[in-house]
Amino acid sequence: MHPPNAPLIKEVILSPPIHTWIKCNTDRASVANQLQSSCGGIFRNSNAACLGCFASNLEPGSAILAEFFAAMIAIEGSSVKGWRNFWLETNSRTVMLAFSSSFLVPWSIRNRWSNCLFKTRQMNFIVSHIYREGNTCADLLANIGLTTSKNLWWDECPSEIRGDLIRNELGLPNYKFVNL
């Protein structure tokens, strides 16, 4: 028996891409009272193994700008690496919708966003949404971005996210609690 106002519990499992595809999960972090934001992302193969990741401090900057910067850095990185089958996964519905409507993109980054859209048209490209609870590696990377003044790139998984990466590789779930 469940009490009348018990939350709904959703299991959230990160899905790796299919063979020959690369997937990048992105997220942002921010400190509202300091107007500081950052972003991070992790690139994975079909085994959910880390192929590289990034963290970037964007101070000062808004949370929504950080979400867009994460997506743009991921697309640009994929293009530079020559990854032509590319799946971007974000927990920002606004970023996801901006691929259909550039009017959602803040004017200050619209030119860079347009360049990224051009790059996606040169690829097999998918964008999807993931709940925050399934995006833990990207969230940890974004939080690392808050602690640095540089743009960071790793070709291997940094130790700070190794535990969550292993959970993803093993297909272990995280849980989202939804109040009804």
pLDDT at position 99 over 90: yes
Radius of gyration of the chain (CA): 16
What gap in Å lies between CA 32 and CA 94, rounded to an integer?
A: 19
Tell me the domain boundaries of the chain: 8-178
* Least confident range of 11-25, 79-93, 108-122, 166-180: 166-180
The residue whose two tokens read 């018990």 is: 6
CA 81 to chain centre: 18
Q: What is the CATH number of domain 8-178?
A: 3.30.420.10
Four-point Cα dihedral 86, 89, 95, 100, nearest 10: 50
pLDDT band at 166 (very low <50, low <70, confident <90, very high): very high
What gap in Å lies between CA 65 and CA 119, rounded to an integer?
A: 20
pLDDT at position 4 over 80: no
Please give the sequence-ordered ranges of beta strands (E in DSSP) within 58-173, or none if there are none: 85-90, 124-129, 151-154
- Containing 166, the helix (H) or strand (E) segment is helix 162-169
The model's pTM: 0.92
pLDDT at position 1 over 70: no
